[in-house]
Amino acid sequence: MNPLMKIRRDLHQIPELGFQEFKTQTYLLAYIKSLPQKRISIKKWKTGLFVKVQGINPTKIIGYRTDIDGLPINEETELPFSSTHEARMHACGHDFHMTIALGVLTYFIENPINDDLLFVFQPAEEGPGGAEPMLQSEEMQGWMPDLIFALHIAPEYPVGTIAVKEGLLFANTSELFIELKGKGGHAARPHETNDMVVAACTLVSQLQTIISRNVDPLDSAVITIGKITGGTVQNIIAEKARLEGTIRTLSPESMKKVKKRIEALVKGIEAGFECEATIDYGAMYHQVYNTESITQEFMHYIKNETDVTVIECREAMTGEDFGYMLKEIPGFMFWLGVESPFGLHHAKLNPNEKAIDVAVKVMTSYIACKGNALTL
């Protein structure tokens, strides 16, 4: 079996949630410490890692970031290497991401280049967000890259395809949690209560009008309420209800406008249903904005120097906290084709493992050119 395939399958079996990636960190450390250590320096950060590879004659630090956490999903792939953790799954491809990073790291241990490399194994991408605090950490500030790259698997593209674009790639995102509290009571006496199930349903309908009536039709935004809870049994009017959802916009300005409108509608619900409401925006992710010149260079390199197909894609409403790193460090993220019939966050997602070698070859050759100051 291809060594990288074994790594991917090992990691696939031990998915862990954000800042709980203890087994994952242990596995990554064990592999990295099995490599020749002469040019390697390692720093732990919470459940993540920084791994610096010393160059021969460095003039800059080139960064490569991978996320390492899983999702709270029961796996349904029936693979022989399925998750061994109940209600946990690498359903967003972070097992692929880590494996590719280890493949690139291994290559440069064996094939040194002039510049230093920094591999960032970041926890909690799926929540509550590890990129921003990791970026601000003393460890990363001491090893701050001059450039940084990352990828994300894309089930909709075939193996051998990379999709990327200059500028905005992924949206600004924010979690949304709304708590409603009224007065419960007997189902036969609704006039003595303030029904929070009715209030919650009304609010869900009103929230959709923000997109249809408050956002510029030439702009784009999404409000999705993915979960509603309320009440206790069928014949008691609910005293409490909770809405859980997400907001996604193509600009920070639109995010501010949408949130302002949400707050106005929630105040209206408080007045109309004589209840109390609280809003929590949870984790918020900055947009992924690819540096134009570097992304153009990368696309040109892929098109002219590799046998991989490069597609200029459209921006997506996907959220990724790598945007915080790109806000401070030039670089880019791209989609890696893995041709799976099931999409990201699906319990049956099974990416094509052939894509791992594609990504390793592309990134090692590109980084080698950048790290040796060769013309691309």
Burial (CB < 10 A; 0-12, 13-18, 19+), residue 138, is: exposed
Q: How far apart are CA 206 and CA 308, in angstroms?
A: 46
Place of tokens 């966050």: 345
Q: How far apart are CA 153 and CA 101, in angstroms?
A: 13
Q: What is the sign of the dihedral through the CA atoms of 12, 17, 22 and 28?
A: positive
116: amino acid identity, one letter: D
**Nearest of 171, 250, 252, 265 to residue 210 by alpha carbon:** 265
Q: How far apart are CA 128 and CA 224, in angstroms?
A: 18
Instruction: Dig out the tokens for 331 from the structure.
Output: 């670089």
Overall size of the chain counted in residues? 376
Instruction: Dig out the tokens for 203 from the structure.
Output: 């609010």
Residue 95 is among the residues annotated as catalytic for this protein = no
Opening angle at CA 12, ends 9 and 18, nearest 5: 150
Q: What Cα–Cα distance (Å) separates residue 272 from each residue in 13, 188, 216, 258, 277?
A: 50, 21, 28, 21, 12
Query: Where does the chain have alpha helices with state H?
Result: 3-12, 22-33, 94-110, 131-136, 138-142, 196-213, 252-273, 292-305, 322-328, 354-371
**Nearest of 290, 307, 295, 294 to residue 357 by alpha carbon:** 307
Residue 126 is among the residues annotated as catalytic for this protein = yes
Q: How far apart are CA 295 and CA 370, in angstroms?
A: 13
Catalytic residue among 95, 116, 125, 126: 126
The distance of Cα 191 from the centroid of its chain, to the nearest Å, equals 46
Catalytic residue among 67, 69, 95, 175: 67
Q: How far apart are CA 289 and CA 322, in angstroms?
A: 9
Q: How far apart are CA 188 and CA 192, in angstroms?
A: 10
Catalytic positions, please?
67, 126
